[in-house]
A and B are shown apart, each in its own frame.
Chain A
Amino acid sequence: MKAYSENYFQKTGMERPLAPRETRWREGWRLLKRNRLAFAGLVIFILFFLIALAGLFLTSGTKPVFDPAVVRLEEKLRPPLSNAKLEILSSDRVPRLGLYLFGTDELGRDVFSRMLQGAWVSLTVGFVAVGIAVLIGILLGGISGYYGQNAMRADQIFLGAVLLLSGGLVLMGITFFGVVLLCVGGVLLVFFQWVKKRASKGVETAWTRFLWMRAISIDTLIMRFVDIMLCFPSFFLILTVVALLPASIYNIMIVIGLTSWMGTTRFVRAEFLSLRDQDFVTAARALGVSNWRIIFRHMIPNAIAPVLVSATISIATAILTEAGLSFLGLGVPPPHATWGNILSDGKNFIFDAPWLTFIPGVAILIVVLSFNLFGEGLRDILNPRLRERS
């Protein structure tokens, strides 16, 4: 950014901006530094990110630096910070530094290594699940808010329902019926086109009037679907789906993502509805800017702030959900460590080896808390109306 000398503007006799020069980023940074809790949240969040990334590299590969899978039955349930008994362990099973930083579990596995491995799971589940949710949310909320006033015709709804159903059947593995329905959908599409072509010559009957009835607006359709999705207690929905699907970390991410997009959709829709009527969007339309450009250059940048805030807070929820699923034994399958299943294994030894429950529990607490604090701080920063006057 060039520096504008004070007298340039005076020299030309033209008007100059009055407000002091400060970019949005710099202003945000200044406000963040003042909000100590949010700043602490951000620091912990960055630390957690680095630890999880380090954990991925240090615990994977053929000869990892910290091996979470080595079983040492002779060293089970050792407390944190105890030294390994070098005389009874073969050399390839000695933990790094010869020390169990967080102790060992009932199979003598190093809890520190397992925590490192689990951090990456928590991080990816959080980010990927929320990423999926935000993508669906922006897409559906955007359509609902921007194009929502357009009504859908009865034939469009019918066709859409048939195609969705057939797609769902194919994905669920009921290939035969799915393909049959897909063919029916194709035939219907051709049929509707034919009816339309015939009717354009002036033949209008009760039947075609029914087909083109402006039944329901896109907005109503999407928002009622959101309401339906919100009616399910989401944790039990996730439990049911996870019980049906093969257990894997990817399925967990997708399922959590697919059941948590409703809030974002509502946010984005509300933002789009209010932005649509703002003068700068009207001006863009009057200038002949295309719909896509209006959505991506004018509306999303203005709508993204509350979405970002809710996404930060939902990452915490997603991490918590994953931990809960793993605790119930429905999460990531056992050899792989996650904070949830360390906790779950540890609960049987809560009096003999309390660190097995405390360490993952406290880790989850800190991470979730830091995301929540950072999210709330971000909301205060991005929303000038909530800002404290100083």
Chain B
Amino acid sequence: MIEKNNSSDGPLLKVKGLRKHFPVRRGFLQRIKGWVKAVDGVDVDIFRGRTLGLVGESGCGKSTIGRLILKLLEPNEGKILYKGRDISGMTQNEVKPLRKEMQIIFQDPFGSLNPRMTVGQSIEEGLRTLGVKNHGERKVRVSQLLEMVGIAPEAADFYPHEFSGGQRQRIGIARALSVEPSLIVCDEPVSALDVSIQSQIINLLKELQNRLGLCYLFISHDLNVVGYMSDTVAVMYLGHIMEYAAADELYDHPLHPYTLALLSAVPSPDPDHRRAQPVLMGDVPSALNPPPGCKFQGRCPLVEDRCRRKEIEVYQVSPEHQVRCWKVA
């Protein structure tokens, strides 16, 4: 595993062999007709005060990992060790005390706040979980949280529809912070925002990380944003992690053909810049019953017979770099 942080207590969150397969039901009797392998054996570590970036195209299982870690979905297989305790097999009641340690920020700033609750009431929901019984105390905490994310405390009495997208995203962050978590899953937090607002939100997240020692699982399809935010980056494709490396290492020496293709597709501000490689053709194939062998075989420029025969294992190229491809390792 990547030993970026040599602190004695190990990673805050360790994910081992995580699998989530969704049944596809069809017909009158709702028989199971197949499985969508959304997450198919994922190992990652998240260290205290650090950010793990998760990149990949739509439908590759990024958000599913986030939801599995938060126990909003039950994994089929694998372990999720939070502070050394396996939470993957816990019932919802057993997880309850851990709810205040892990939170989530959503992509869609319009759907993530209850339209029938004032902003203050939405944030107070978290304070109730935290056990703040006193009404006045909750009000004070709400004001503090709103100020922390740069919203005037008086906004607590307003309804979500009265705010802009970026403001709502800040309120969503304040709600996540209300329970004083150590880990926040950021599920594409800036994808739905204007570029100017994106940078504000990213800077706010960075600032909060420095101030509160937060730990992020930063999910995005934007390589620039992930590169800026993360200490470690995992590149996902169809439920597999294709390449997993420290951020600088990944951007300076990408190995996997998929990572190369992704990086070459990133728009550059230099008009004379020529693309090193042809951009990938076609879409991500369906995760429903994929063929054996490498998941990337259909679109890979380096594909050979061996890629189609059996599952490709993970190769450790350097202490900070793993890749799931036998040709480049």
Interface residues of A (CB under 8 A from B): 1-2, 4, 8-9, 12, 14-19, 21, 24, 220, 278-280, 282-289, 297-298, 301-302
Contacts and interface: CB of A to CB of B under 8 A. Distances in A.
Q: Is the interface of B mostly helix, strand, loop or mixed?
A: mixed
B99 A278 contact: no
A21 B162 contact: yes
A18 B113 contact: no
B115 interface: yes
B116 A301 contact: yes
B154 A278 contact: no
A347 to B, nearest CB: 49
Contact of B106 (A18, A279, A288): A279
24 contacts: A1-B157, A4-B154, A9-B154, A14-B147, A15-B150, A15-B155, A16-B152, A17-B155, A21-B158, A24-B159, A279-B106, A279-B107, A279-B108, A279-B111, A280-B113, A282-B67, A284-B125, A286-B70, A287-B126, A287-B129, A288-B96, A301-B114, A301-B116, A302-B116
Contact of B129 (A16, A220, A288): A288
Nearest to B187: A279
B102 to A, nearest CB: 7
Nearest to B153: A14
A286 B163 contact: no
Given A18-B163, A286-B72, A287-B99, A302 B150 contact: no
Contact of B117 (A4, A288, A297): A297
Contacts of B161: 19
A283 B106 contact: yes
Contacts of A9: 152, 154
Contact of A15 (B106, B108, B151, B175): B151
B170 A15 contact: yes
B167 interface: yes
A1 B159 CA distance: 13
Contacts of A286: 70, 72, 99, 102-104
Given A14-B152, A285-B72, 15 more contacts: A2-B157, A14-B150, A17-B155, A18-B167, A24-B159, A280-B112, A280-B114, A282-B67, A283-B106, A283-B112, A283-B176, A286-B70, A286-B72, A287-B99, A302-B116
A183 to B, nearest CB: 34
Contacts of B164: 18
A1 B126 CA distance: 24
Nearest to A1: B157
Interface of B: 30, 67, 70, 72, 96, 99-100, 102-104, 106-108, 111-117, 122, 125-126, 128-129, 147, 150-152, 154-155, 157-159, 161-164, 166-167, 170, 172, 175-176, 178-179
Contacts of B163: 17-19
Contacts of B116: 301-302
A377 B206 CA distance: 48
B158 A17 contact: yes
Contact of B154 (A8, A279, A298): A8
B129 A280 contact: no
Contacts of A279: 106-108, 111-112
Contacts of B162: 17-19, 21
Contacts of B158: 17, 21
Contact of A302 (B114, B128, B155, B175): B114
Contacts of B107: 279
Contacts of A18: 162-164, 167
Given A287-B103, A288-B100, A297-B117, A14 B151 contact: yes
A4 B106 CA distance: 29
A19 B125 CA distance: 24
A282 B152 contact: no
Contact of B104 (A15, A220, A283, A289): A283
A8 B114 contact: no
Contacts of A298: 114, 117
A268 B297 CA distance: 46
A278 B112 CA distance: 7
Nearest to B166: A15
A297 B122 CA distance: 10
B309 to A, nearest CB: 37
Contacts of A17: 155, 158, 162-163, 167
Nearest to A300: B116
B228 to A, nearest CB: 23
A285 B158 CA distance: 23
A287 B104 CA distance: 9
